[in-house]
């Protein structure tokens, strides 16, 4: 086994494996042949730890000057037994072995090392106290961690509260060029917005995502980084990459805009800012989706009448995007109220406004036009919905599929076309749409609406057994086990009567299996009650 693999396994055992068993507590003090008390000091370190390589010579020098200190020197990366020993000793003290260097003595465990002279004096004082007075059993770090903060000087982290320490560390991290650039970039995008709610939403999402990413680094990835960072080849690659980046940045400082550079080219900055603004301003589709969500969530008569009032306010100092959202909400509200005249009127206005926005965006390039092209699709879906409510089913088909039936319709278009076909018997698209629906439920067996729509098409084609099974699958997808048993049992009875079509024998066997499943689930629910 190679050295890298051996070290990786050792680190794995050190950082990740749960610790089992109860370790025996070693003797902290013993008497030598001369009757003198000796204090046992256990040092655990690694060749791959730079702090260990700094701490160990200082500890060895300290021990050499004090013959009453017995040092147990344990290196971890080359000896798996030392790893187990550290784990067991830490557990005997109620601690967890996470990092090196680690010092264990007199019932205490200290992790880390401060290379200031005071650290050695503190350690010697505690060892001597243990020799003179016995074990105190406390676990105290050798030196409190300190922070050297510009303008504020050196701060003892142990003497300040955790919230204040968090604020100080966050402030230090915030003052860096990358953070300032990202913040300025965000502000340059927000300055073109004229909606305070939209600005608050964008800024809030930015802050929330930043916080979540920091939390992921600190909580989820910390141990992984500790383990990977201890591997010599990882640190070597990271160090080489850091030196290369540093060299490029020094070159940029001395000779800017020549040769290799990590900065954004000047000819690309304007395009990046323009793309960012286009993403924020291309809001027709989000406005339409938000309007639909609002109307469907608040569909009481008073709420619907309120949505229709937006039709009159669509041009009252509002942006094009806001007008589109208001007209979409008004159209959908009119549909819910069965006011077809109002729906036609607002739909025509919506079509006109969206066409104007598409024309404006189209002249600015493909990136700006793409979101509006997506919005036009949802306009077609709304137009098909209006036609369906008006019983113009042929118009639904021509609106959604103007160039003939395609091989793979998107799900919204497929469901709408299938529902229209149920009102148009013997249509030539019936078989093709049925096949696409079968493929849809195979990919998504919990799609209750797709199953129910498939049941309607199969019933229209005379496939009664398949229609009953599809109705049962729809109830299973809704977790309505009583309804599922009813539909599947009806399908089973039909099969037992021998009223089968070619290929129905396979369908009958599937019905039997799904019926048993539904019955089992129903019995489980009854027992739980």
Token couple for 360: 């404006």
What local confidence, expressed as pLDDT, does residue 1 receive?
Answer: 40
Distance CA 8, CA 2 (A): 10
Fold of 3-133: Glutaredoxin (3.40.30)
pLDDT at 404 over 50: yes
Banded pLDDT at 361 (limits 50, 70, 90): low
Q: Is 153 helix (H, G, I), strand (E, B) or coil?
A: strand
Banded pLDDT at 316 (limits 50, 70, 90): low
Quick one: DSSP state of residue 366?
Answer: H
What local confidence, expressed as pLDDT, does residue 251 receive?
Answer: 79
Q: Give, rounded to a whole angstrom, the gap between the first and last alpha carbons of the chain.
A: 58
Quick one: DSSP state of residue 159?
Answer: G
Distance CA 263, CA 72 (A): 52
Q: Provide the CATH number for the domain formed by 402-528 in this structure.
A: 1.25.40
Distances (CA, A) of 313 to 193, 223, 323: 20, 57, 8
pLDDT at 372 over 50: no
Which residue spans of the chain are classified as CATH 1.25.40?
402-528
Which of the residue ranges 161-170, 321-330, 347-356 would you say has the lowest mean pLDDT? 161-170
Q: Which helix (H) or strand (E) holds 149?
A: strand 146-149
Section 26-41 average pLDDT: 84
Which residue spans of the chain are classified as CATH 3.40.30.10?
3-133
In 3D space, the residue among 120, 74, 114, 118 whose CA is nearest the CA of residue 97 turns out to be: 74
Relative to beta strand 108-111, strand 153-156 is unpaired
What are all long-range contacts of 403-406, with beta carbons under 8 Å and residues at least 24 apart? Answer: 405/429, 405/432, 405/433
What local confidence, expressed as pLDDT, does residue 130 receive?
Answer: 87
Evaluate whether 361 touches 369 at the Cβ level (below 8 Å).
Answer: yes
Distance CA 119, CA 234 (A): 31
How many CB atoms neighbour CB 156 within 10 A? 11
pLDDT at 100 over 70: yes
Backbone angles phi, psi at 405, to 5 degrees: -65, 130
pLDDT at 125 over 80: yes
Which of the residue ranges 157-171, 380-394, 413-427, 428-442 would you say has the lowest mean pLDDT? 157-171
Banded pLDDT at 2 (limits 50, 70, 90): very low
Which of the residue ranges 76-80, 449-453, 469-473 would you say has the lowest mean pLDDT? 76-80
Token couple for 308: 């229709």
Distance CA 326, CA 74 (A): 73
What local confidence, expressed as pLDDT, does residue 313 receive?
Answer: 57
In 3D space, the residue among 311, 280, 306 whose CA is nearest the CA of residue 294 turns out to be: 306
pLDDT at 487 over 70: yes
Section 352-375 average pLDDT: 59
More confident residue, 239 or 522: 522
Relative to beta strand 37-45, strand 69-75 is parallel
Evaluate whether 474 touches 451 at the Cβ level (below 8 Å).
Answer: yes
More confident residue, 377 or 451: 451
Token couple for 501: 């079509």
Banded pLDDT at 44 (limits 50, 70, 90): very high
∠ CA(21), CA(40), CA(28), 5° rounding? 55
Residues written for the chain? 529
């Amino acid at each position: 086994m190679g050295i890298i693999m051996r070290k990786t396994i050792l680190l794995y055992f050190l950082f990740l494996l749960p610790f089992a068993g109860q370790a025996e507590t070693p003797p902290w003090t013993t008497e030598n042949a001369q009757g003198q008390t000796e204090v046992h000091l256990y040092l655990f370190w690694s060749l791959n730890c730079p702090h260990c390589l700094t701490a160990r010579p200082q500890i060895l020098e300290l021990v050499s000057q004090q013959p009453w200190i017995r040092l147990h020197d344990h290196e971890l990366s080359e000896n798996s037994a030392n790893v187990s020993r550290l784990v067991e000793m830490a557990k005997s003290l109620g601690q967890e072995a996470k990092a090196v260097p680690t010092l264990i003595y007199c019932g205490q465990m200290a992790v880390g090392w401060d290379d200031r002279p005071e650290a050695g004096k503190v350690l010697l004082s505690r060892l001597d106290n243990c020799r003179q007075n016995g074990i105190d059993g406390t676990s105290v770090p050798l030196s409190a961690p300190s922070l050297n903060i510009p303008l504020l000087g050196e701060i003892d982290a142990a003497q300040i509260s955790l919230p204040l320490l968090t604020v100080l560390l966050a402030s230090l991290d915030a003052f860096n060029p990358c953070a300032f650039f990202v913040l300025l970039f965000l502000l340059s995008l927000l300055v073109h917005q004229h909606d305070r709610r939209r600005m608050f939403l964008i800024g809030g999402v930015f802050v929330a995502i930043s916080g979540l990413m920091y939390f992921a680094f600190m909580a989820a990835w910390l141990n992984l980084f500790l383990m990977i960072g201890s591997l010599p080849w990882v640190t070597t690659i990271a160090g080489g990459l850091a030196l290369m980046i540093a060299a490029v940045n020094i070159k940029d400082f001395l000779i800017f805009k020549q040769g290799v550079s990590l900065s954004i080219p000047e000819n690309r900055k304007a395009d990046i800012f323009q793309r960012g603004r286009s993403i924020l301003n291309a809001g027709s589709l989000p406005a339409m989706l938000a309007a639909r969500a609002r109307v469907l969530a608040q569909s009481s008569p008073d709420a619907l009448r309120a949505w229709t009032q937006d039709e009159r306010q669509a041009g009252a100092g509002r942006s094009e995007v806001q007008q589109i959202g208001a007209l979409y909400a008004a159209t959908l509200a009119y549909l819910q109220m069965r006011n077809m005249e109002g729906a036609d009127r607002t739909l025509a206005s919506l079509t006109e406004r969206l066409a104007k926005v598409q024309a404006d965006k189209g002249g600015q390039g493909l990136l700006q036009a793409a979101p509006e092209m997506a919005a036009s699709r949802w306009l077609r879906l709304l137009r098909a919905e209006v036609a369906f409510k008006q019983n113009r089913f042929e118009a639904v088909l021509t609106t959604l599929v103007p160039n003939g039936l395609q091989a793979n319709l998107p799900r919204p278009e497929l469901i709408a076309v299938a529902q229209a076909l149920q009102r148009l018997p013997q249509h030539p698209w019936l078989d093709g749409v049925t096949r696409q629906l079968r493929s849809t439920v195979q990919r998504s067996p919990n799609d209750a609406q797709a199953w129910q729509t498939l049941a309607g098409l199969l019933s229209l084609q005379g496939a009664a057994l398949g229609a009953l099974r599809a109705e049962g699958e729809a109830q299973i997808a809704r977790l309505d086990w009583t309804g599922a048993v009813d539909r599947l049992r009806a399908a089973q009875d039909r099969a037992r009567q021998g009223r089968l079509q070619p290929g129905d024998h396979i369908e009958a066997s599937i019905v039997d299996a799904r019926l048993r499943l539904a019955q089992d689930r129903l019995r489980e629910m009854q027992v739980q009650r």
